[in-house]
Structure 1
Amino acid sequence: MFRFVARSAAGKHLLRRGYATESVPDRKVAVLGAAGGIGQPLALLMKLNPLVSQLALYDIANTPGVAADVSHVNTRSEVAGYVGEEQLGKALEGSDVVIIPAGVPRKPGMTRDDLFNINAGIVKGLCAAIAKYCPNALVNMISNPVNSTVPIAAEVFKKAGTYDEKKLFGVTTLDVVRAKTFYAGKAKVNVADVNVPVVGGHAGITILPLFSQATPKANLAEEDIKALTKRTQDGGTEVVEAKAGKGSATLSMAYAGAIFADACLKGLNGVPDVVECSFVQSTVTELPFFASKVRLGKNGVEEVLGLGPLSDYEKEGLENLKPELKASIEKGIKFANQS
C-alpha cells in the first residue's frame, strides 16, 4: 500500500529509513499528460515515491512549470519536464513504468463514449511512441474509456511487434478505492483494513465490485449491497456533478494511479505477493480483456487470478456487463486498425 505519503513530510527521513539509492534499484517513471488535472497531482505523488529515481513529465504544453514546481520537493527522484511531440522520445527513453493520464476529461452530460474519438487518437499516438522508445516498459493506462483504450494500445503494440500482454494494464484502482471507502462507511469498519476486489471493466455497469468477498466481513443487507454497487459504478458521475461541470475525478484518480504504479514498481523490484485489480488480457471469461486480481512481479503480470465464489447478485451482474464490455473492446480494436 501507498504508505510513504504520510511520512514523507521530511524527505530526508525517507532516505534514512532504508530507502537510500543503493538499496533500491534505479527506476524511471514517465507520466504522459503530466500538466493535466490528473497528471499534476499524480506527478506529485510519484515524486513522493521513494522507489522512483527518475521522473519524466510529458505533455503538449505547460510541462516545464509543473516539472520545476514538483522538482523542489525534497525526495530522491530527479525530475525532468518535456513538452511537445518532438520531446516525447526523450521523455520515454529508459522508462520502467509509463503512466498515461493524457486526454480530455468527461464533462456533464458527456458519456465515456463521447470522449472516445479524442482520447483514442491521443492514446494511439502515445503508444506508437512507447513501442519505439521504451518497448519493455510497464504501461499503466488511465485515459478513458479504459475498456477501449487498453485494446487500442494492444493493437498498436502488436503492429509494432512489441506487444507483451504481461506489460499492459488498464488502471481500475479507482473503482477499488471507491468500493473500499463506501463499504467501510456502511459496514462501520476501519477503511485501512478493508479489501474489496472489483472485476469486469472500468465504466458504468461493467464495474462489478465483489462485496461478497469483502474483508473484514460484514453482514450487510441485500439492498445495501445493491446501493453500494450502484454508487461504486456511478462514482465518476457523482464527482462530475459535485464539481458542477468544472471537472471530473482528478485527485482520487491520481491517488489510485499512484497506488497502482507503486504496486508495479514493487513487483519489478521483486517484492513478493503484490496483488492488485487491473484490466488486462485475460482468459478469466470469454472476453479478451477483463479486470480481476493480478499478481505483479518482475515481468509485469505474473498471474491473472480467477474470480472466486460469486453471490447470485454478482453472477447476474457479471452476465449483464459482458455485452457492453465486449462492445467497448471491439470498438477499441476497430479504431486501432483504421488507417
Structure 2
Amino acid sequence: MLIYNMKNLNKQLGKKVAVIGAAGGIGQPLSLLLKLNPNVSRLSLYDIVNTPGVAVDLSHINTNSNVVGYKGQDSIGEAITDADVIVIPAGVPRKPGMTRDDLFNTNANIVQSIGQAIAKHAPKAHVLVIANPVNSTVPIIAETLKKAGVFDPRRIFGVTTLDVVRASTFVSELKGTDAVKTKVTVVGGHSGVTIIPLLSQTGINFTQEEIEKLTHRIQYGGDEVVKAKDGTGSATLSMAQAGARFTNSLLEALEGKTGIVEPSYVYSPVAAKEGVAWFSTNIELGVNGVEKIHPLGKLSEYEQKLYAEAIPELQKNIKKGEAHVNK
C-alpha cells in the first residue's frame, strides 16, 4: 500500500529527478543528497536490485519530495518517464590497479542500454553521466540518442565536478586558503592526463614544483581513494557530493536562475579544431541546459603542454565510445 500511494503521489507536478544505479556506492549517497534538495519534488530511483528498500528508507526523511523505487530492467521506462533530469552513476566501480579504460567493456554496455531507454521513454530529459569512463560513456549516450533521432547536445553532460572539488581541496590544503572560496578551473576530460587544472588562472602564486605536484594529484586523485579503500571500492561519497552539486545547479538553471557556471564535459567547439568533439570547460547553464560554453582563456606554457598531451587521449576515448555504438 505504501508503494502504491507513493506512485500516486509521483504523478504530481514538479521537477522529477531519476537516479539510474541508485542502490550502488555512489547512487545511495547521491539519492540521499537529492532527497534533501528542495528543488527536487519527485525522486525516482532505479537499479537492478535493492531499490525499493533504498526508496522506502529515504521516504522517511521529512522533506517535501516524493520517492519511488524501481527494480529490474523492465521497470526503467517507468522510472525515467517524465524526468526532467536523469543522473547516471550506474556501472561497476574501479578496483586497485584498474584504470577507467579497464571499466569500459562492462560499463559501455550498461550505459548504451540506459541510452536506449532514455531515447524511448525520456528523450527530452537532461542527462548527467557519472558512469566511468566518462570520456567514452558520454559519446556512447550521444551516439545512441543520435541513432534514435533525439540527440540534443545541450542536454547531455559528463559530470566532471569532482575534479574541480578535488582541485579546490588540494590547493586550499597546500596554501591554507578557504576551501569553499578557492576556485580552480579544470578543463579537458575526466581521467588521468585528460584532466587539466588551470592553476595559472587562480590568482594564487605557485612554484613550478607545486604546480607539477598539484597537477598530478588532481589528475590521479581517484587513485588515492581506490588505494585507501583497499579493494572495496572507489570514490563514492565525494563523487556523490559533486554529482549532487551539479544536479542542483542545473535544476536552479532550469527554474530560470541565471549566471550559473559549472564545469562539464559537453559537446563543445573548444577543441574541435583538434578533432575533439567533447571537452570539459566551464559552461553557463540555462533553461535549455547548455546556454554558453566558456573558452579556455590564457594558458601558461605548462598548461599548453598539458593540453597537447590530453588531446590524443581524448580523441582515442571519444572514438572508442562512438565505435562501441556504431560497430
Bucket of the pairwise TM-score, normalised by the shorter protein = over 0.9
TM-score normalised to structure 2 length: 0.94
Give the AA of the match of 2:241: Y
One-letter code aligned to 1:242:
A
1:170 is the counterpart of 2:158? yes
Q: Counterpart of 1:275?
A: 261
Q: Using the TM superposition, give the Cα deviation of residue 26 of structure 1 relative to its aligned residue in structure 2, in angstroms.
A: 1.6
In 1, Cα distance between equivalents of 2:194 and 2:180: 26
Secondary structure of the 1:296 match is strand
Structure 2 unpaired stretches of 5+: 1-12
Q: How far off its partner does 1:121 sit?
A: 0.2
Letter in 2 for 1:317: L
> Could you tell me which residue of structure 1 aligns to residue 7 of structure 2?
none
In the alignment, what sits opposite 1:152? 140
Residue 126 of structure 2: aligned partner? 138
Paired AA for residue 300 in structure 1 = G
Percent of aligned pairs with the same amino acid? 56
**How far, CA to CA, are the matches of 2:205 and 2:47 in structure 1?**
47
How far apart are 1:222 and its partner, in Å? 1.2
- Which residue identity is paired with 1:333? E
**How many angstroms does 1:218 deviate by?**
2.0
- When the two structures are superposed, what TM-score results if normalisation uses the length of structure 1? 0.91
Give aligned pairs, total: 312
Q: Which residue pairs with 1:15 in the alignment?
A: none
After TM superposition, the runs of 4+ consecutive aligned structure 1 residues lying more than 2 A away are none
Letter matched to residue 311 of structure 1 = S
Out of 27, 43, 46, the residue aligned to residue 39 of structure 1 is: 27
Aligned counterpart, 1:67: 55
Kindly report the root-mean-square deviation, in angstroms, between the aligned alpha carbons of the 2 structures.
0.8
User: The residue matched to 1:191 in structure 2 has which SS?
Assistant: coil
Task: Give 2:67's match in structure 1, choosing from 71, 79, 84.
Answer: 79
Note the C-alpha offset of 1:213.
1.1
Task: Find the counterpart in structure 2 of residue 302 from structure 1.
Answer: 291
- Residues in 1 aligned to 2:269 and 2:71: alpha-carbon distance in whole angstroms: 39
Match of 2:242 among 250, 256, 278: 256
In the TM superposition, what is the alpha-carbon distance from 1:186 to its structure 2 partner?
Answer: 1.1
Q: How far apart in 2 are the matches of 1:111 and 1:189? A: 32
Indicate the SS of the match to 2:262: strand
Equivalent position amino acid for 2:42 in 1: Q
- Which runs of structure 2 are paired with 1:44-59 in the superposition (5 Å)? 44-59=32-47
Pair 1:194 & 2:182 matched: yes
Alignment partner of 1:322 is 2:311: yes
Superposed displacement of residue 242, structure 1:
0.6
Q: Distance in 2 between matches of 1:193 and 1:263?
A: 17
Among 209, 214, 218, the alignment partner of 1:232 is 218
Distance (Å, rounded) in 2 between the aligned partners of 1:131 and 1:303: 25
Q: Which amino acid aligns with 2:234?
A: S
Pair 1:102 & 2:90 matched: yes
Q: Aligned pair 1:331/2:317, yes or no?
A: no
Asked if 2 retains the 8 angstrom alpha-carbon contact of 1:187 and 1:220, the reply is no
For 2:253 and 2:147, the matched residues in 1 are separated by: 27
Shift in Å, 1:86: 1.1
Structure 1 gaps of 5+ residues are: 1-24
Amino acid at match of 1:320: E
Amino acid at match of 1:230: H
Displacement of 1:169: 0.2
Report deviation, 1:113.
Answer: 1.4
Partner residue, 2:5: none
Identify the range of structure 1 (217-226 vs 316-325) with the bigger mean alpha-carbon deviation. 217-226
**2:231 maps to 1:245:** yes
Q: Distance in 1 between matches of 2:39 and 2:233?
A: 30
